[in-house]
A and B are shown apart, each in its own frame.
Chain A
Amino acid sequence: MLSDVNLWPLIGVAIIIVGFVLRFNPMLVVVVTAIGTAFAAGFPIDKILATIGTGFIKTRNLPLIILLPLAVIGLLERHGLRQHAQNWISSIKSATAGRLLIVYLAARQLTAAVGLTSLGGHPQMVRPLLAPMAEGATEARYGTLPERIRHKLRAFSAATDNVGLFFGEDIFVAFGAIVLMTTFLREAGIDVEPLHVAVWGIPTAICAFLIHAWRLYRLDGVLARELAAEGIVSLSAAAKTPTRGV
């Protein structure tokens, strides 16, 4: 009976939106939301805490992907991995941040599409390799970069990893999401082939590549303009016209 639905738990949605908009500490917002939502659903206090505890234990697998590689990445950074990644990319003359990220986007999406989702990720690929390379490729052209531009390049590196992963993994037939979808539909009395679900994801995946790659293609020009506004021109242009001020 739909009319019996308790609408009070929706207060949780309101708490979390208000909390994030007012920029309270996210950890605090989440716990207050959890308590508020469970309270609105009529749970007593000990059941509220037990629900939080059970949920916290069930989701222990989430931080593993970040925590496990830290020791290796830290040691490699201590021995100059990020510097080397920057040097390496600046030895490739045709490399720009935009082109590098387009190549990475394609590689990430294609490997994820055949199930190799672990060939990437923020702690093991973006921080030690991809972001330093995006910075290194830009530095090779413009010299020392302002912090703001560095941050922009890093954010785009992380964003590109996400877009590549999300819109690649979903067209892999054995991926968890496809299993979840077909199982849910079967319970609703609809039989679909996992392969059909995977195949119909391909048009969206192609559009995702085109849209994001187009933005990355334009990124080089955007960077050039933003740097020019700060009085920084490319090293090759500066060498040709050494007397030009800006």
Chain B
Amino acid sequence: MTITIQHLYYLVGAVLAFTAVATLTDRSNAKRYSTGLFWALYALVFLVGDLLPALWVGVGAVAMALIAGFGGVGAGKHQGPSPSQYAASAKRLGNKLFVPALAIPLVTMVGTLSAKYLAIGGAPLLDPKNTTLVSLGVGCVVSLALVCWLTRETPAQGLRESHRLTDALGWALVLPQMLGMLGLVFSDAGVGKAVAYVTTTYINMDVRFVAVAVYVVGMALFTVIMGNGFAAFPVMTGGVGVPVLVGVYHGDPAVMAAVGMLSGYCGTLLTPMAANFNIVPAALLELPDKNAVIRAQVPTALTLLAVNVFLLNFMMFR
């Protein structure tokens, strides 16, 4: 038997279904019906999403966006332990508390590195196409067993804690997937082609340094729009990199690719479109300003982008 990403979808779908039911019966949540519906729809995406016609899933995604967009996703009040109970528990368990927390990355790492050698009856144990994510899933389950044993809690309490944190995150939890979807719609609709056309038509790249700057800054800007350097790379490299930097000025393509992609990453540091890295952490850390993480990154990103223009210019034409 191979553990695949599909198993993780079922697991996450089941946890979200629990959250949906718990929300519907949660009287401390003023918006429990719309919030419950929101999480129920999301649970369905994971449980049966691939079996439904794409049109229905599209309607569901739009419905979720409307619920979230008109303030329908609320949070209940979760009664946690008192500060003195926290302190007592922290004192009692001490450094043992670090063990399950560090077990997640550790198991993920070991799973990723050893996936090639783990097999039962010829079938790989971990899905070879998604080793990291599947290892992460295994790591979380192992760590859950560890933490339950350590704290004498039940997995059911784990579900309640998951509900508490899901409430704290709210719709921000779904935003990365929404943006991923938008990236695919953009490429289906030909946004990349249009951007490449506009850049190459309206900017004069007869000066080599200008062409380098256009490529570097273009990678960052396009990543800001798409939220992902991977989406920007084919557009800017196909539009400017290969025909101008390599074709006209005979630069080293390996340098161009390396510095180009890392310039895209500077863009990732600057954009709310990269929700997984910028918006979700702000929600996770309970920051009132959703853009606080981006603000902390702006000086690093802009300085590095300027440095990249010069690095590319000197290393590519050495």
- B1 at the A interface (CB under 8 A): no
Q: When chains A and B are docked, how far (Å) is the Cα of A203 from the Cα of B282?
A: 30
- A243 at the B interface (CB under 8 A): no
Tell me which residues from 4 to 29 in chain A have a Cβ below 8 Å from any Cβ of chain B: 5-10, 12-13, 16-17, 20, 24-28
Q: Is A50 in contact with B237, judged by CB distance below 8 angstroms?
A: no
Q: When chains A and B are docked, how far (Å) is the Cα of A156 from the Cα of B293?
A: 7
Contacts of B268 in A (CB 8 A): 162, 166
Number of inter-chain CB pairs below 8 Å: 438
Of A72-80, A138-146, A231-239, the stretch lying at the interface with chain B is: A72-80
Contacts of B186 in A (CB 8 A): 9, 12, 37
| Cross-interface CB contact of B66 among A8, A28, A184, cutoff 8 Å | A28
Contacts of A55 in B (CB 8 A): 180-185
Q: Is B307 in contact with A211, judged by CB distance below 8 angstroms?
A: yes
Q: Is A180 in contact with B233, judged by CB distance below 8 angstroms?
A: yes
Q: Is A68 in contact with B101, judged by CB distance below 8 angstroms?
A: no
Contacts of B68 in A (CB 8 A): 25, 27-28
Most chain-A Cβ atoms within 10 A of its Cβ — which of B155, B200, B300? Answer: B300
Of B28-36, B83-91, B114-122, B206-214, the stretch lying at the interface with chain A is: B83-91
- B147 at the A interface (CB under 8 A): yes
Task: Find the A residue at minimum CB distance from B298.
Answer: A159
- B97 at the A interface (CB under 8 A): yes
Q: Is B97 in contact with A72, judged by CB distance below 8 angstroms?
A: no
| Cross-interface CB contact of A84 among B90, B178, B242, cutoff 8 Å | B90
Q: Is A203 in contact with B185, judged by CB distance below 8 angstroms?
A: no
- B191 at the A interface (CB under 8 A): yes
Q: When chains A and B are docked, how far (Å) is the Cα of A84 from the Cα of B87?
A: 8
Contacts of B304 in A (CB 8 A): 204, 207-208, 211
Contacts of B257 in A (CB 8 A): 181-182, 185, 192, 197, 200
Q: Smallest Cβ distance from B15 to chain A, in angstroms? A: 7
Contacts of A72 in B (CB 8 A): 100-101, 104, 140, 143-144, 147, 158
Q: Is B49 in contact with A60, judged by CB distance below 8 angstroms?
A: yes
Q: Smallest Cβ distance from A9 to chain B, in angstroms? A: 4
Q: When chains A and B are docked, how far (Å) is the Cα of A192 from the Cα of B303?
A: 28
Q: Is A215 in contact with B177, judged by CB distance below 8 angstroms?
A: no
Q: Is A37 in contact with B308, judged by CB distance below 8 angstroms?
A: no
Q: Smallest Cβ distance from A207 to chain B, in angstroms? A: 5
Contacts of B155 in A (CB 8 A): 71
| Cross-interface CB contact of A81 among B90, B130, B176, B177, cutoff 8 Å | B90
Q: Is B105 in contact with A120, judged by CB distance below 8 angstroms?
A: yes
Q: Is A30 in contact with B295, judged by CB distance below 8 angstroms?
A: no
Q: Is B93 in contact with A10, judged by CB distance below 8 angstroms?
A: no
Q: Mark A197-232, 1 if CB is under 8 A from B, else 0.
A: 111110111011001100100000000000000000
Q: Tell me the B residues contacting A by CB distance below 8 Å.
A: 5, 8-9, 11-12, 15-16, 45-46, 49-50, 52-62, 64-66, 68-71, 80-81, 86-91, 93-95, 97-98, 100-101, 104-106, 108-109, 112, 130, 132-133, 135-137, 140, 143-144, 147-148, 151, 153, 155, 157-162, 164-166, 169, 171, 173-186, 188-191, 193-195, 197-198, 200-201, 225, 229-230, 233-234, 237-238, 242, 246, 252-255, 257-259, 261-262, 265, 268-269, 272-273, 275-282, 284-289, 292-293, 295-297, 299-300, 303-304, 307-308, 311, 315
Complex A-B, nearest 7 residue pairs according to Cβ-Cβ distance, in ascending order: A74-B161, A80-B90, A28-B69, A59-B180, A53-B57, A53-B58, A49-B58
Starting from the known contacts A34-B181, A80-B88, 11 additional A-B residue pairs (CB-CB under 8 Å) come to: A43-B189, A50-B54, A57-B54, A75-B157, A75-B158, A84-B90, A119-B105, A154-B292, A155-B296, A157-B285, A163-B297
17 A-B pairs whose Cβ atoms sit less than 8 Å apart in the complex? A10-B195, A10-B198, A48-B58, A49-B62, A53-B53, A63-B173, A64-B8, A74-B164, A75-B153, A81-B90, A126-B285, A128-B101, A131-B285, A155-B296, A163-B300, A181-B261, A207-B308
